Amino acid sequence: MKYSGWPDTGELVVGKVDEIEDFGVFVDLEEYEDKRGLVHVSEVASGWIKNVRDHVNTGQTVVCKVLDVDEGSQQIDLSIKDVNEHQHSDKIQDWKNEQKADKWMSLAFGEDMGDEQYTHVANELLAEFGSIYDGFEQAAIHGPEALDDTDLADEDVERLVETARENVSVPYVTVTGYVDLRNPGKDGVDGIKEALKAAEGNGDIPDEVELDVTYVGAPEYRVRVKAPNYKTAESQLEESVRRAEVVMEGISGTADFHRERHTDDE
């Protein structure tokens, strides 16, 4: 995705060195359509520069700080020296992430998705998460509920989540479900306690998995699982609920699983 507007003063941008002159370097901006900036020789590197080509090469990818933007004269002044190593590394990674996200958009909606649809989905993700990549990452981690506050159609959400879970590598995922435990018998409380212990795994949970069951409000309990990947998290959630179901069935109680938390007026 390339932006059609102009960068802001102070913004860090990714560019490719197009021309090198004695007075400076012309850089094509990778994130903006048809935008080119100039890095004056004094902004290429700190100290006195004898030969600009000792510091940059044609075709090199650089990170620049935007010093000034003059839309009237179509001029963008840039600096390479004002970008430290840490900023350079972070910006390049962000740029690569957005390139990945652009490919994921094509996977989710097809190569022939219209500009209007792309813009709508992209703007919703940008507004909610700050970047398209972060939107996909949150969709992979938290599923459809991560997109609850966006103005996206259910079909679009489904496509985003499916694509995210197939393509995004995240350090962990968290899934959440709810189970209603009811036991009308005289030993109802004790039976529910046993069901909760079973849901928690009785200490027999894989080391890489975190599982906790918390009380929400009678008869509802929240089951949250944190795991290295979505498949494992979902599997552990299902097993947790099934263990509770087995206990409740044995004492003529019920365990009803649902994804969304019940509200007071339900």
Question: For residue range 39-76, what is the model confidence (pLDDT) as tens digits?
Answer: 999 999 998 999 999 999 999 999 999 999 999 999 99
Residues in the chain: 266
DSSP states of 49-78:
-S-GGGT--TT-EEEEEEEEEETTTTEEEE
Domains and CATH numbers, the chain: 12-83 (2.40.50.140), 86-167 (1.10.150), 173-258 (3.30.70.1130)
CA separation, residue 200 to residues 7, 148, 177, 240, 254 (Å): 51, 28, 13, 7, 17
d(CA 78, CA 106): 32
Flag residues of the chain having pLDDT under 50: 265-266
User: Residues 5, 11, 58, CA angle at the centre, nearest 5°?
Assistant: 85
d(CA 64, CA 157): 35
The token pair at 197 is 């212990």
Q: What is the pLDDT of residue 262?
A: 61
Q: What is the pLDDT of residue 124?
A: 95
| 8 Å CB contact between 144 and 135 | no
pTM of the model: 0.62
Burial class (CB in 10 A: 0-12, 13-18, 19+), 164: buried
Q: What is the pLDDT of residue 180?
A: 92
Question: Which contacts qualify for 117-125: CB closer than 8 Å, 24 or more apart?
Answer: 118/1, 121/152, 121/156, 121/160, 122/1, 124/150, 124/151, 124/152, 125/150
Q: What is the pLDDT of residue 147?
A: 95
The token pair at 26 is 């012309």
d(CA 248, CA 11): 58
The token pair at 2 is 């390339």
d(CA 158, CA 161): 5
Residue spans of alpha helices (H) in the chain = 85-109, 115-129, 132-142, 154-167, 188-199, 230-250
Instruction: Name the residue type at position 51.
Output: N
